[in-house]
Amino acid sequence: MSSELHYKSNVRDTMFQLFEVLEIQTTSLGKAPYAALDEATIREAVKASEKLCTAELQKSFAESDRVPLELDAEGNVKIPEGLRRGYEQFYDAQAHMLTVPEHMGGMGVPPSVGWATFEFTAGANAPLAFYLFGTFAARTIDRHGTDEQKRRFIPALLERRWGGSMVLTEPDAGSDVGAGRTRAKPGMGDVWEIEGTKRFITNGEFDVPENIIHMVLARREGAPGGTKGLSLFLVPKFWVNEDGSLGERNGVIVSKLEKKMGIKGSATCELVFGDGKPARGLLLGDVHDGIRQMFHVIEQARMAVGVKSMSTLSTAYKNALGYANERVQGPDLLRAADKTSPRVKILSHPDVRRMLMSQKAHAEGMRSLCLYTAWVQDQVEIAGGHGAKEADDLDKLNDMLLPLVKGYCSEKAYEQLSLSLQTYGGSGYCQDYPIEQYVRDQKIDTLYEGTTHIQALDLFFRKVAKDGGSTLTALLEQIEALAKSDLGGAALAEDRAALARALGDLKGIFGAMMGKVGESLYHVGFQGNRILAATAELVIGWLWVRQAVAAQRGLVARPEDAAFYQGKLAACRWWCKNVLPGLTLTRKLVEQSSLELMDLSDEAFG
């Protein structure tokens, strides 16, 4: 099999999640700001996106891994021809306008649909997906910029297909954004001059668009230390004149391309600003509010990473399933003693079925988590948008779910990809199949946009403890209501009981940790990742029971699709029997958390 045509979508599950579980046709569509959209329109948009990705965009997936990026002496990065072609095809299809709001000339689909279609792009060709950041840069400027900045940049970003990048990390600061030392000093008029070095900048330079708009965090002269002293600047590769025309090359240049384990086609750059030539920029919105503005960008990036992980696991599972259906090896286990027994396809072996169901339950469970979070974002917009009083509770719920999407999906997808690889045996280790590239391309997801433990600390301190646990409590009340209901009848009684037990365990986990915090915050350091995983697995368990209820309805309404719905019921039962019981162990581990490792001398680790 050629990995050129590697991508296997699961558009059937996407439609199920959107229209049969979340029921966006009544809960999101037809309401402002989505009043002009209906189910038929969205179904066609989702199908068109999936077709573009499967028919075209996936073609340069292997090429992006095999053909090296080229950095010349002037700091220009040449990307493989297939990625260039995919970039143009995406824009030619007007796919970038799907998520652009109506007032900007786009279709303005709700986040639930936007993230559903991003799954196809990221699963088909993750390096390409992250080159398409220019549209989000336009939306960021629309949200935070001045009228002059909107006029100057947005039309070009959307119509002339300019690129964009988010520029935070510095070599010495790493994840400690507040330690950044890149400086901004006033220049002529409203222009600022940026000086400093930034590292690990995704797609900070590539040779397809005529211009790239960098969104750069820098500290203005005289500003205090820490994150509060940071401002966000728009720094173009080529200066943009007031009439929108391009001026001279700006003083920002690539000094190095990182050599990486995976997503090799994505240009990860070290950028130097103001070395020998001024790097001119404009203060976004003319306000020194950089960290709040950038958190809007960071949240988008963290959601994208979680969806990318889920989409990679989903196509890995579909590929492994296809292989298991074709590969014939060994007799049935019950007839192994009979040397004349016929060989069977490996899908018949219990261990292979175990691995496949684990992949299915996790991939589709992660999809439910990502799309439920996106649906909450729909409701935020319907309630008036971020910052609106009516949207406050929904905003907080979205914020709490984001570390689950990013942290859990990225960690668990990597773990499950080992099962995808194992399904192939030794063949999966070779480039004959795409799984070895999936493993390498996905691992970065646990690291960038905040490592898993950063997500865990964010969940515990900023999303749970900060509001006294009220947002978490409200979500747990919804879970408890389903666990205590008779939804699904006797057929789902065992699943609801497992959900109730896991709910009790999670409450015990948080209760125990609140007591431990009084002793030392180090306990959160030791147990934070476990708490994040347990929270995600309970929420996904709740969403799996919701999927099972919808599947029961589907069996009655569409019996011709029985196999799909039976698979849903089986995966729900598998999650409740194989994942949710793990919360009991996590509770015990948290309850007995100790500080012995902190008392161990550094030399003892030698």
Q: How far apart are CA 540 and CA 538, in angstroms?
A: 5
Q: Which of 449, 477, 596, 603 is catalytic?
A: 449
DSSP 230-268: EEEEEEESEEE-TTS-EEEEPSEEEEEE---SS-TTS-E
**Residue 449 bears catalytic tag:** yes
Spatial CB neighbours of 323, under 8 Å, sequence gap ≥ 6: 346, 423, 424, 427, 433
Residue holding tokens 């409200």?
Answer: 474
- 8 A C-beta contact, residue 292 and residue 143: no
d(CA 234, CA 513): 42
What φ, ψ does residue 345 adopt, rounded to 5°?
Answer: -70, 150
Distances from the Cα of 417 to the Cα of 3, 52, 541, angstroms: 16, 25, 20
- The dihedral of CA 419, 372, 562, 491: what is its sign? positive
Pairing of strands 163-167, 212-220: parallel
Distance separating alpha carbons of residues 367 and 10, to the nearest angstrom = 10
Neighbours of 589 (CB within 10 A): 15
CB of 109 closer than 8 Å to CB of 45? yes
Report, as residue numbers or ranges, the catalytic residues.
449
